[in-house]
Structure 1
Amino acid sequence: MSASAFDQRQINHRSQWEKKESVRLLYRDFHRQLLENCPDGSVLDIGGGTAHVKDFRPDIVSTDILFFPGIDVVADAHRLPFRDGSFTGVVMLDVLHHLERPIEFLQEASRVLKPGGRLAMIEPAMTTIARRFYHYFHAEPVDMNADPFAPITINPNRDPFDANQAIPSLLFGTPAARRRVEKVLPWLRVRNLKWLSLFAYPLSGGFQSWSLMPPALVRSTLAFEEKVPEAIRRQIAFRMMVVLERL
Structure 2
Amino acid sequence: MTAIDPRLAEHRRVWERKPALRAVYGDYHRRMLNALPAAGRYLEVGSGSGNLRDAKPDADVTTIDILPTPWVDVCADAQTLPFADDTFDGITMLDVLHHIEHPRAFFAEALRVLKPGGRVALIEPGITPVSWLFYNYLHEEPVDMSVDPLGPVASTPDPTKDPFDSNQGIPTLLFKRQEHRIAFAETFPGFTLIDRQWLSLFAYPMTGGFKSWSLLSASAAESLIRLEQVLMPFIGPILAFRLMVVLEKRKAKRS
% identical aligned pairs: 47
Is residue 195 from structure 1 mapped to residue 194 from structure 2 by the alignment?
A: no
Helix, strand or coil for the counterpart of 2:195? strand
Q: Which moved more, 1:131-140 or 1:176-185?
A: 176-185
- Cα distance, 1:56 vs structure 2: 2.1
In structure 2, what is the equivalent of residue 81 of structure 1? 82
Structure 1 residue aligned with 2:222: 219
CA contact (8 A) 2:131 2:239 kept: yes
Residue 180 of structure 1 and its aligned partner are, at CA, apart by 2.0
Shift of 1:189: 1.3
Shift in Å, 1:57: 2.8
Structure 2 matches for 1:1-247, cutoff 5 A?
1=1, 5-39=3-37, 40-58=39-57, 59-153=60-154, 154-247=157-250
1:154-211 Cα deviation digits (max 9, x unpaired): 3121111100000001101234432221111110111101111111011000110111
Does structure 1 conserve the Cα–Cα contact (< 8 Å) formed by 2:201 and 2:232? no
1:38-77 C-alpha deviation (Å, 9 max, x unpaired)? 0021110000012111222343110001111220011100
Give the Cα separation in 2 of the matches to 1:229 and 1:147: 28
Unaligned runs of 5+ in 2: 251-255
Distance 1:16 1:30 in 2: 17
- TM-score, normalised with respect to structure 1: 0.96
Cα shift at 1:146: 1.1
SS in 2 for 1:60: strand
Partner Cα distance (2:134, 2:201) in 1: 13
Q: Report the alpha carbon displacement of residue 31 of structure 1 after superposing the two structures with TM.
A: 0.4
Q: Work out the CA distance in 1 between the residues paired with 2:146 and 2:82.
A: 32
In the alignment, is the contact (CA less than 8 A) between 2:99 and 2:165 conserved in 1?
yes
Structure 1 position 231, deviation (Å): 4.1
TM-superposition CA deviations, 1:108-158 (whole Å, max 9, x none): 011111111100000001111001110111001111111111114331211
Aligned residue identity for 1:65: I
CA–CA distance in 2 between the matches of 1:78 and 1:216? 38
Bigger CA drift: 50-59 or 183-192? Answer: 50-59
**2:111 alignment partner, SS class:** helix
* Aligned-partner SS, 1:228: helix
**CA displacement 1:18-37 (0-9 Å, x = unmatched):** 01011111111100000000
TM-score, normalised relative to structure 2:
0.93
Structure 1 contact 46–92 (Cα < 8 Å) conserved: yes
Q: CA offset at residue 229 of structure 1?
A: 4.3
CA RMSD of aligned residues (A): 1.2
The one-letter code sitting in structure 2 at the alignment partner of 1:108 is E
Equivalences, count: 245
Task: Structure 1: state its 5+ residue gaps.
Answer: none
| Structure 2 CA distance for aligned equivalents of residues 64 and 45 of structure 1 | 9
Mean CA deviation greater in 138-147 or 150-159: 150-159
Structure 1 counterpart of 2:75, one-letter code:
V
Distance in 1 separating the partners of 2:101 and 2:188: 18
Code of the residue aligned with 1:24 in structure 2: it is R
Shift of 1:228: 1.0
Task: Give, in whole Å, the separation in 1 of the partners of 2:219 and 2:121.
Answer: 28
**3-state DSSP class of the match of 2:91?**
strand
Partner Cα distance (1:56, 1:200) in 2: 18
